[in-house]
Amino acid sequence: MTDEKRPPRLTDRKRAAILRAAVTEFREQGFAGTSMDRIAATAEVSKRTVYNHFASKEELFTAILWQLWEASQAQEPVRYDPAASLRGQLLLFMAQKLRLLGDASFIDLSRVAMAEFVRAPERAQVLMEKLAEKEEGLTVWMRAAQADGRLHSTLSAAEAAHQLQAMLKAFAFWPQIAMGQPPLGEAAQQQVMEDCVDMFLALRASAA
């Protein structure tokens, strides 16, 4: 039997169950209110099994945030196309980002993460350093567009990607996190995407 067809090992299934249970507990109880005992009970495994996979609650929480980040990168990548409009390509990126930002589980866990990072900023630093090890697809796209002379390079590719996404999050992430506003509807999403991309290109696109 090939690796592709082999069923998941028991340890893999238990790890997945622990992660699912932890997501549920962190969403419902917050970081401080969640214990490894509760996670073990929800996952229907022993506490020892939980600790065999994750040395601490902090490590488990970081694994969940890492899993969320990887899920956001697992969508079909938008590769830079020198023959296509910059606007159309960036709108595809923004649509992918909005699908993640509109996910209820992502919003709930982000609230938990923000509260914990305020309490323990060193934990946020560790996570940011880990995320920095992998380059985001939009950064790769920005670098290619800059190398092609279609975007100004006054900012680094990473800074340009951050700038565009920060504009999007100002409407489709922070109001939901900080003020409990509902996710944007379809029409509002489209308007925000177009406005953010158009503002970005007005500032960053090179003259034809």
Least Cα distance to 151 among 82, 92, 93, 96 occurs for 82
* DSSP code of residue 5: T
pLDDT reported for residue 71:
67
Domain boundaries, the chain: 9-55, 64-204
pLDDT reported for residue 178:
83
- Cα(188)–Cα(94) distance, rounded to whole angstroms? 13
- Cα(195)–Cα(208) distance, rounded to whole angstroms? 21
| Backbone phi, psi, residue 63, to 5° | -65, -35
pLDDT reported for residue 30:
85
Residue bearing tokens 């190398």: 147
Dig out the tokens for 192 from the structure: 């925000």
List the chain pLDDT tens, one digit each, 208 residues: 444 444 446 678 899 899 989 988 988 888 889 999 999 999 999 999 999 999 999 889 888 877 777 766 656 778 999 999 999 999 999 998 888 888 877 787 788 878 778 877 887 777 666 666 565 889 999 999 999 999 999 999 999 999 999 999 999 989 988 888 888 999 999 999 999 999 999 999 997 5
CATH topology identical between 9-55 and 64-204:
no
pTM of the predicted model, to two decimals?
Answer: 0.76
Query: Which CATH number applies to 9-55?
Result: 1.10.10.60
Any idea which fold 64-204 has?
Tetracycline Repressor; domain 2 (1.10.357)
pLDDT reported for residue 100:
80
